[in-house]
């Protein structure tokens, strides 16, 4: 990217140091918002969703369902009303379905569309077009789907009229997106579809299928459902996204003034790896006011400034914190000693190669970070300041905004437009908390 082009790309300028105080509430969970629209669209009756994340990623899913004939209304911020078309009621879209930057939307839609009577094509932006889709396409083909990828990447074309059969599938990589794609295709398959996980992954799809009346069994990493079950409309409340909350939990652990509160955080046990990792590092975190939002547990999280120490992250926690690692790497950079993460090769095929992107950014701020094939070794130290490239990755951009709290000089983060894909309003909420962040063009 040349200098002139860079100057036209949005950036964050974050002052060095400072503290966070008071309380914040983060937007609704992205993973749950995607699933609410997809399943509401194929349910019988009217589904109401409160707390829907109005991010670019989730709106791409919503617009795709509209393009297939589902009536979706947005009567108020965060509220979505979906008139479901039923299991077999979707219609052929007039053009390719644009998933923007949303890998979740694309992979889950592959499962949903594999058993439809019509052809469909899924496309995405430049970043999504580089992400691997064969990991979802391969098991769907075993079920009988006819799917073409483009050298393993989007665009993805699904040919209608395929007769699907249930399979018993062992995931090679712990991936909730691939698991969900198979289960959604299983709704349209003859017989029983079973997915076996090598490690526990987020279970939002299973929980939400049950909320829509679909019998799903899950035990010991084995999830099964029978094809043909009709989904019944439901009321869904989307809790705050723990992946978004993680930025402020780390901010609090690094620089809270007194007690800092993050409200309404989704506490699904398959998503709380970041909280457990921070506690192992010595973070002073308290989960308070636990409650349920539909089938999803929710709580407030109270955090105080803490003296963090480097750890070797237990492998069992890696899949439970896969989206939170960019900001956890920042916590590691501010900790005493060395932190080692392995078993996280999935980070290399996210919106960017997050292992490489975070290593480069930490180096730019004066931290020694050694990329590993499946993780990162970080030696804690003093963060300087300077310019960091986000590589167009929203979580990398936000992570380095939090890093500025412990920097000795301002931090400039380039290319932050994609922050809106997952966390619209991030900069405003960060300023509310006390972080001196400016958005510049």
Q: Which residues are catalytic?
A: 323
338-341 vs 296-304, strand pairing mode: unpaired
Average pLDDT, the chain: 96
The reported pLDDT for the residue numbered 348 is: 96
Please indicate whether residue 20 or residue 441 has the higher confidence score (pLDDT).
20
Is residue 195 pLDDT above 80, yes or no? yes
The reported pLDDT for the residue numbered 2 is: 44
Cβ of 170: how many Cβ atoms within 10 Å?
A: 11
CA–CA separation, 2 and 364 (whole Å): 19
CA–CA separation, 63 and 57 (whole Å): 10
Which range of residues forms the domain containing residue 430?
3-28+239-440
CA–CA separation, 201 and 211 (whole Å): 19
Could you tell me if 120 and 58 lie in one domain?
Answer: yes
Could you tell me if 405 and 267 lie in one domain?
Answer: yes
Mean per-residue pLDDT for 23-44? 97
Could you tell me if 326 and 201 lie in one domain?
Answer: no
Could you tell me if 288 and 345 lie in one domain?
Answer: yes
Could you tell me if 17 and 52 lie in one domain?
Answer: no
386-389 vs 375-379, strand pairing mode: unpaired
Is residue 36 pLDDT above 60, yes or no? yes
Q: Which helix (H) or strand (E) holds 254?
A: helix 242-255
The reported pLDDT for the residue numbered 1 is: 46
**Which residues contact residue 126 at a Cβ distance below 8 angstroms, ignoring those fewer than 6 apart?**
none
Of 283, 237, 233, 231, residue with least CA distance to 262: 283
Could you tell me if 270 and 196 lie in one domain?
Answer: no
CA–CA separation, 363 and 370 (whole Å): 9
Instruction: Determine, yes or no, domain membership for 128.
Output: yes
Task: Please give the backbone phi and psi of residue 74, each rounded to the nearest 5 degrees, phi first.
Answer: -125, 80
CA–CA separation, 302 and 321 (whole Å): 19
Alpha-carbon distances of 356 from 52, 102, 326, rounded to whole Å: 32, 21, 11
The reported pLDDT for the residue numbered 238 is: 96
Please indicate whether residue 226 or residue 9 has the higher confidence score (pLDDT).
226
CA–CA separation, 217 and 308 (whole Å): 40
Cβ of 82: how many Cβ atoms within 10 Å?
A: 29
The reported pLDDT for the residue numbered 293 is: 84
pLDDT > 70 in the chain, percent: 98
DSSP state of 129: G
CA–CA separation, 399 and 37 (whole Å): 28
CA–CA separation, 216 and 79 (whole Å): 27
- Helix, strand, coil percentages for the chain (3-state, nearest 5): 35, 30, 35
Cβ of 187: how many Cβ atoms within 10 Å?
A: 23
Q: CA quadruple 379, 385, 389, 395: dihedral positive or negative?
A: positive
Contact 47, 82 (CB under 8 A): yes
Q: Over the stretch 270-301, which tens digit does the pLDDT of each residue have? A: 999 999 999 999 999 999 999 998 789 999 99
Contact 60, 54 (CB under 8 A): no
Instruction: Provide the CA 215 distance to its chain's centre, in angstroms.
Output: 25
- Structural domain ending residue among the three candidates 192, 227, 262: 227
Say how many domains are in the chain.
2
DSSP state of 114: T
- Structural domain ending residue among the three candidates 174, 201, 227: 227
pLDDT > 90 in the chain, percent: 95
Could you tell me if 170 and 40 lie in one domain?
Answer: yes
CA–CA separation, 242 and 32 (whole Å): 11
Contact 169, 181 (CB under 8 A): no
Could you tell me if 173 and 253 lie in one domain?
Answer: no
Q: Over the stretch 136-188, which tens digit does the pLDDT of each residue have? A: 999 999 999 999 999 999 999 999 999 999 999 999 988 999 999 999 999 99
Could you tell me if 63 and 186 lie in one domain?
Answer: yes
Could you tell me if 243 and 160 lie in one domain?
Answer: no
Contact 127, 83 (CB under 8 A): no
Alpha-carbon distances of 3 from 401, 410, 413, rounded to whole Å: 22, 20, 14
Cβ of 329: how many Cβ atoms within 10 Å?
A: 29
The reported pLDDT for the residue numbered 4 is: 42
Write the CATH number for 350: 3.65.10.10
CA–CA separation, 364 and 231 (whole Å): 51
Could you tell me if 15 and 34 lie in one domain?
Answer: no
- Predicted confidence band of residue 64 (pLDDT cuts 50, 70, 90): very high
Could you tell me if 108 and 219 lie in one domain?
Answer: yes
Q: Over the stretch 390-413, which tens digit does the pLDDT of each residue have? A: 999 999 999 999 999 999 999 999
Instruction: Determine, yes or no, domain membership for 60.
Output: yes
Contact 378, 368 (CB under 8 A): yes
CA–CA separation, 9 and 391 (whole Å): 12
Is residue 311 pLDDT above 70, yes or no? yes
CA–CA separation, 247 and 244 (whole Å): 6
The reported pLDDT for the residue numbered 9 is: 85
Instruction: Determine, yes or no, domain membership for 171.
Output: yes
Q: Which helix (H) or strand (E) holds 289?
A: strand 284-293
Instruction: Determine, yes or no, domain membership for 233.
Output: no
Instruction: Determine, yes or no, domain membership for 234.
Output: no
CA–CA separation, 391 and 357 (whole Å): 7
Instruction: Determine, yes or no, domain membership for 232.
Output: no
CA–CA separation, 352 and 396 (whole Å): 9
Mean per-residue pLDDT for 90-114? 97
Mean per-residue pLDDT for 297-321? 97
Q: Over the stretch 72-97, which tens digit does the pLDDT of each residue have? A: 999 999 999 999 999 999 999 999 99
- Structural domain ending residue among the three candidates 172, 201, 227: 227
């Amino acid at each position: 990217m040349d200098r002139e082009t860079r100057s036209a790309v949005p950036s964050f300028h974050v002052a060095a140091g400072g503290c966070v105080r008071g309380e914040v509430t983060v937007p609704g969970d992205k993973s749950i918002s995607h699933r609410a629209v997809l399943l509401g669209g194929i349910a019988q009756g009217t589904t109401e969703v409160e707390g829907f994340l109005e991010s670019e990623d989730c709106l791409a899913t919503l617009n795709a369902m509209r393009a297939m004939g589902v009536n979706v209304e947005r009567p108020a911020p965060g509220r979505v009303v979906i008139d479901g078309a039923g299991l077999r009621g979707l219609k052929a879209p007039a053009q390719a379905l644009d998933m923007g930057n949303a890998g979740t939307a694309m992979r889950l839609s592959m499962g949903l569309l594999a058993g439809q009577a019509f052809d469909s094509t899924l496309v995405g932006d430049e970043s999504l077009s580089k992400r691997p889709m064969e990991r979802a396409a391969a098991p769907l083909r075993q079920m009988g789907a006819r799917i073409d990828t483009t050298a393993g990447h989007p665009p993805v074309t699904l040919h209608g009229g395929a007769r699907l059969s249930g399979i018993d599938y062992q995931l090679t990589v712990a991936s909730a997106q691939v698991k969900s794609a198979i289960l959604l295709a299983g709704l349209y398959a003859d017989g029983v579809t079973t997915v076996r996980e090598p490690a526990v992954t987020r279970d939002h799809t299973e929980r939400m299928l049950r909320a829509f009346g679909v019998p799903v069994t899950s035990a010991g990493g084995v999830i099964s459902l029978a094809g043909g079950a009709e989904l019944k409309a439901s009321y869904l409340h989307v809790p705050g996204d723990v992946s978004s909350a993680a930025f402020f939990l780390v901010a609090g652990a690094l620089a809270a003034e007194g007690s800092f509160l993050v409200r309404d955080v989704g506490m699904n046990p398959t998503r709380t790896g970041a909280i457990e990792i921070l506690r192992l590092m010595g973070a002073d975190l308290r989960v308070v006011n636990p409650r349920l939002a539909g089938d999803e547990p929710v709580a407030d999280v109270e955090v105080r400034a803490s003296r963090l120490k480097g750890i070797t992250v237990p492998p069992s926690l890696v899949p439970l914190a896969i989206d939170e690692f960019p900001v956890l790497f920042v916590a590691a950079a501010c900790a005493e000693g060395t932190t080692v993460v392995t078993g996280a090769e999935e980070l290399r095929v996210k919106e960017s190669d997050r292992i490489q992107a975070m290593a480069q950014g930490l180096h730019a701020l004066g931290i020694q970070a050694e990329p590993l094939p499946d993780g990162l070794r970080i030696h804690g130290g003093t963060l300087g300041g300077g310019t960091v490239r986000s590589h167009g990755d929203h979580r990398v951009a936000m992570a380095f905004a939090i890093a500025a709290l412990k920097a000795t000089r301002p931090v400039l983060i380039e290319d932050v437009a994609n922050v809106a894909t997952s966390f619209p309003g991030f900069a405003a909420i960060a300023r509310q908390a006390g972080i001196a962040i400016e958005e510049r063009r």
